[in-house]
Amino acid sequence: MNLRKALVLDANILLRAVFGNRVRQLLETYEDEVVVCAPDICFQDAQGYIPTLASKRSIDSSLALSVPEQVSRIVVSVDRSLYETYEQPARERIQRRDPDDWPVVAAALMLNVPVWTEDQDFFGSGIPTWTTDRVELYLRGSA
């Protein structure tokens, strides 16, 4: 296994892994080549939204709640104790857009890697970002 790259996921990408196919497919395809992680709080946030989103989509919420467990086998949860030392610089970068996203920025700063997100709040933070429609360029090494 040659781990060359890494990415930090935002909670919205975790939710897309639960409710969509593309994100999960990308995670599974590149799991041996890329380290994918998300702050622990993103897992908690995603878990909190699953019942409501499942209901809106007429999906069995117990089935939807089992997917995060599957995703967590691929996506590493980063404990707050590791990224919290980057809280201040992360907050400075994201405070005008969405201060609640500081853990994602902090994890990206800590690991010096880009963020995979669909949230435009990260744009302009100085952290490289990838969206789902382009992230495979990064994952396969074309970028």
pLDDT tens for 52-77 read 787 787 777 666 666 556 677 889 99
Per-residue pLDDT of the chain in tens (143 residues, 90 and over written 9): 344 689 999 999 998 888 888 999 999 999 998 999 999 999 888 888 777 787 787 777 666 666 556 677 889 999 999 999 999 999 999 988 888 899 999 999 999 999 999 988 888 899 999 999 999 999 988 65
Query: What is the model's pTM?
Result: 0.87
| Cβ atoms of residues 18 and 66 within 8 Å | no
pLDDT tens sequence across 42-56: 988 888 877 778 778
Rounded (to 5) percent helix, strand, coil in the chain: 55, 15, 30
CATH code: domain 5-139 is 3.40.50.1010
Sequence spans of domains, the chain: 5-139
Burial class (CB in 10 A: 0-12, 13-18, 19+), 132: middle
Residue 125 CA from chain centroid, whole number: 16
